[in-house]
Structure 1
Amino acid sequence: MQNDEKIPAGYTPERVGFFTDAVFAIAMTLLVIDIPKPEGSAEFDAAEVGRAEAARNLLHFLYEQIPSFSAYLLAFYILWIVWRQHHQLLDRVERLSPGLIRLHFPLLLLVGLLPYATTVYDHNTFNPAAAGLFTVAVATLLLVRSGIQGRALKDDLLHEDVDRTAYRRDVRVSWTVAWYFLATLLFCWFTPWLTFLWFGAPLLGSILGRRTGSKPVSPRG
C-alpha cells in the first residue's frame, strides 16, 4: 500500500478502533455482573450466626461458585486475546476495506453476545446445551477474528514493513485455534470437564506460535 494514498471517508482505522474498544470494555465488564453474590442472607451475617459460622458459610458459598469464576476467567481471557489481536492489527494497517468493515459487524455482535452465553453456562454448568451455546459463541468469535486477520492480508491493507510471511503463519495459527475450539463442541455432553479443553485453546496457540516462529503479534494474543 502506498503511504500517500488518500484514505476514503469512513475507512480510517482510528474510529473503528475506538468503537471496538468500547464494545469490548462493556462486554468484559458485564461478564462479572451475573456471578451470584452472597447478599441478603442471615447465614453470612456475623452478628446473626457468629463470626466463625459466617466465615464458613461464605467460604462454602464461594466454593460453590468456582464454575462461575472459571467461566468468567475463560470468557474474559478470550475477549482479552481477541481485543489485543484487533489492536495489533489496526496498528499494522493504514486504512480499512469494505470487506474488513463488514466483518466487524459479526465480530462486535459476538462480543456483545458472549456475556449472555457465559451467564447461561454459569447457571447451567452441567447442561450440555448451555456448554454448546458457550462453545459456539466463542468458536464463532474466534473464526470471525481469524477472518478479519486474513482479510487484511487479502485486501493488501498491511503496512509495507509488515513481514507477510510471518503474518501468514500467525493467521494459520489463528484459524487452527478457532477450529480447535469449535471441535470441542463434540464433547459438550461431558460437562463440566469440557472447561479443561477450552483452556487448552490458548495453550495450543502458544505452542503452535512458538513452533512456527510467530512474532508477538500472533493470534494467540
Structure 2
Amino acid sequence: MSHGQGQEQQLERLTFFSDAVFAIAITLLVIEIHVPEPEGHGDGVWLQALADLLPHFLGFVLSFVVVGALWAAHHRAFGLLQRFDPSLIWRNLALLMSVAFMPFSSALMSTHPTDRVPEMFYALNLLVSGLLQRRLFRTALRPPYVREDVPAEDITVMNRRTLALPLMATISFILAIWVPGPSNFPLVLMPLVVTWFARGSIRRRSTVAP
C-alpha cells in the first residue's frame, strides 16, 4: 500500500466512524420520545396525550436540525481533505462526544421546557459542540491537508460558518436565565445566521478584490 493510499484509508476510517456516531445520536433523539399510555379511552384522551408530548416533538426537531447541521458541515469539511493529520483524531472524538451527549440534554430540556437549569444545560451542550467543531475545522482545514484545488476563500467561508452555533447557543444560554422556554428561539434562526456569516465573507472578498 502506497503512502497516499494509506492517507486516504485513514481519512475514510475517521469519516465512516464519525458518520456512524452522528447517525446513532440523531436516532437516539427520537427514542427519547416515549409512546404515551393515557388513562382512559377515546379520541380526546389520545389527543391530549399527544399534546402533552409537544415539547418533546419540538425538542426532537430542533436537536435533529442542529445535529444534522453539524454532520453536514463535518461532511463538507472532511470532503476537502487529501491527507490525514493524527491530531484530528482526538479533536474529532471530542466533537463526537458532545454530539453523542445531545440526546440526553435534548430529553432533559424537552421534559422540563420552562425550567431554567435544563434550558441552560441544553444550550451549554450546543455551545460546547459548536466550539469543538470550530477547533476541529481550524486544525483540519489548513495546508498541506486540504486539497490543492480548494480555493482559500472556501476555507474562510467554512471557518466563519462555525461561528453560528456558538453565537446562537450563547444567546440561548443567556436568555434562559430570564425566559426559559422561548430561549430556544435563537437556535431556530441558526440557518439564517450561517448564511449571514458566509455572505459576510463573500462581501469582504468582493471589496478587497481589485
SS in 2 for 1:162: coil
- Separation in 2, partners of 1:55, 1:24: 37
Equivalent of residue 164 in structure 1, options 152, 174, 177? 152
- Separation in 2, partners of 1:9, 1:168: 24
Name the residue aligned to 1:145.
133
Name the residue aligned to 1:207.
196
Q: Which runs of 5+ in 1 are unaligned?
A: 46-53, 215-221
Equivalent of residue 15 in structure 2, options 10, 14, 17? 17
Q: 1:154 to 1:161 in 2, by over 3 A?
A: closer
Contact 1:117/1:133, CA 8 A, preserved across alignment: yes
- Separation in 1, partners of 2:144, 2:24: 31
After superposition, residues 113-192 of structure 1 pair within 5 angstroms as 113-154=101-142, 156-189=144-177, 190-192=179-181
Q: What amino acid is aligned across from residue 86 of structure 1 in structure 2?
A: H
Contact 1:11/1:97, CA 8 A, preserved across alignment: no
Contact 2:29/2:60, CA 8 A, preserved across alignment: yes
Contact 1:177/1:202, CA 8 A, preserved across alignment: no
Name the residue aligned to 2:185.
196
- Separation in 1, partners of 2:147, 2:8: 19
Q: Which runs of 5+ in 2 are unaligned?
A: 204-210
Q: What amino acid is aligned across from residue 67 of structure 1 in structure 2?
A: P
| Alignment RMSD (CA, Å) | 2.2
- Separation in 2, partners of 1:166, 1:104: 21
- Separation in 2, partners of 1:200, 1:70: 15
- Separation in 2, partners of 1:94, 1:177: 27
Provide TM-score, normalisation by structure 1.
0.82
After superposition, residues 29-68 of structure 1 pair within 5 angstroms as 29-39=27-37, 41-43=38-40, 45=41, 54-68=42-56
- Separation in 2, partners of 1:24, 1:166: 24
User: How far does residue 98 in structure 1 lie from its aligned partner after superposition?
Assistant: 2.2
The answer to which of 132-141 and 194-203 deviates more is 194-203
SS in 1 for 2:172: helix
SS in 1 for 2:35: coil
Contact 1:131/1:188, CA 8 A, preserved across alignment: yes
Contact 1:72/1:118, CA 8 A, preserved across alignment: yes
Provide TM-score, normalisation by structure 2.
0.86
User: How far does residue 210 in structure 1 lie from its aligned partner after superposition?
Assistant: 3.4
Identity over aligned pairs, percent? 23
